[in-house]
Amino acid sequence: MIVKSFARIAYITTLTLVSFIIKAQSTIDSLKKELANAKHDSSKVKICNQLFNNLRESDSKEAISYGKQGLLLAEKLKDKKSISRLAHNLGTLFYLKAEYPVALGYYLKALDIREELKDSVNMAKSFNNIGILYYEEGNLKEALEFHNKSIIIKEKLNDQLGLASSYGNIGNVYFKLAKQGSSDSIFTKSLNCHVKAQYIQEQIAKADSANIHNLIGLSATYNNMGNIMFEKSMLTHNKDFLSRAVDYHFQALEIQLKIDDTRGISHSYINIAGIKDRLGKTEEAIRDYELALKYATSADMREAEKSCYEGLSNTYERAGDYKNGLKYFKLFNDIKDSILDIAKSEQLTEMQTKYEADKQAKAIELLNKNKSLAENEAKRQKLLINTIIIVLILVVTLIVILYNRYRFKSKSEKKLQDQNDIIGLKNKEITDSIKYAKRIQEAILPPAAYIQTLLPHHFIYYRPKDIVSGDFYWLDAIGDKIYVAAVDCTGHGVPGAFISIVGFNLLKHAIHEHGKTKPSEILDQVNNDLSASLRQSFTESNVKDGMDLSLCCIDLKNMCIEYAGANNAIYIISQDLDEITDPKKLFKEIKADKQPIGTFESQYLKPFTNNVIPIKKGDTIYMFTDGYADQFGGPLGKKFKYKQFEELLLEIHKTPTDAQKDLLARTHENWRGVNEQVDDILVVGIRI
CATH classification of the domain holding 560: 3.60.40.10
The pLDDT of 471-482, averaged and rounded, is 93
Other C-beta atoms within 10 Å of 104: how many?
24
559, 417: one domain: no
534, 500: one domain: yes
Strand order of the β-sheet with 681-687 is 458-463, 681-687, 620-624, 570-573, 587-590
Q: What is the pTM of this model?
A: 0.43
Per-residue pLDDT for 4 more than 70?
A: no
Q: Is 609 a member of any domain?
A: yes
533, 423: one domain: no
Q: What is the pLDDT of residues 161-211, one digit of tens each?
A: 777 778 778 878 877 777 776 566 666 777 777 777 777 777 777 777 677
Other C-beta atoms within 10 Å of 256: how many?
26
The pLDDT of 669-682, averaged and rounded, is 93
669, 553: one domain: yes
Structural domain range at position 409: 360-441
Picking from 426, 441, 456, the residue at the C-terminal end of a domain is: 441
Per-residue pLDDT for 484 more than 60?
A: yes
Per-residue pLDDT for 576 more than 50?
A: yes
The pLDDT of 228-256, averaged and rounded, is 80
CA–CA distance, 682 with 362 (Å, rounded to integer): 32
Q: Is 162 a member of any domain?
A: no
375, 391: one domain: yes
Q: What is the pLDDT of residue 122?
A: 92
Asked whether 571 and 619 are in contact (CB, 8 A), the reply is: no
379, 480: one domain: no
Radius of gyration of the chain (CA): 31
Picking from 441, 472, 496, the residue at the C-terminal end of a domain is: 441
624, 533: one domain: yes
CATH no. for residue 23?
1.25.40.10
Picking from 379, 414, 441, the residue at the C-terminal end of a domain is: 441
Q: Is 107 a member of any domain?
A: yes
Lowest mean pLDDT among 111-120, 316-325, 434-443, 585-594: 434-443
DSSP three-state, residue 568: coil
Q: What is the pLDDT of residues 107-150, one digit of tens each?
A: 999 999 999 999 999 999 999 999 988 888 888 888 889 988 98
548, 667: one domain: yes
DSSP annotation of 137: H
E-only strand ranges, 556-664 = 560-566, 570-573, 587-590, 611-614, 620-624, 632-633, 638-639
- Number of domains composing the chain: 3
Give DSSP secondary structure letters for 485-533. Answer: EEEEESSSHHHHHHHHHHHHHHHHHHHHTT---SHHHHHHHHHHHHHHH
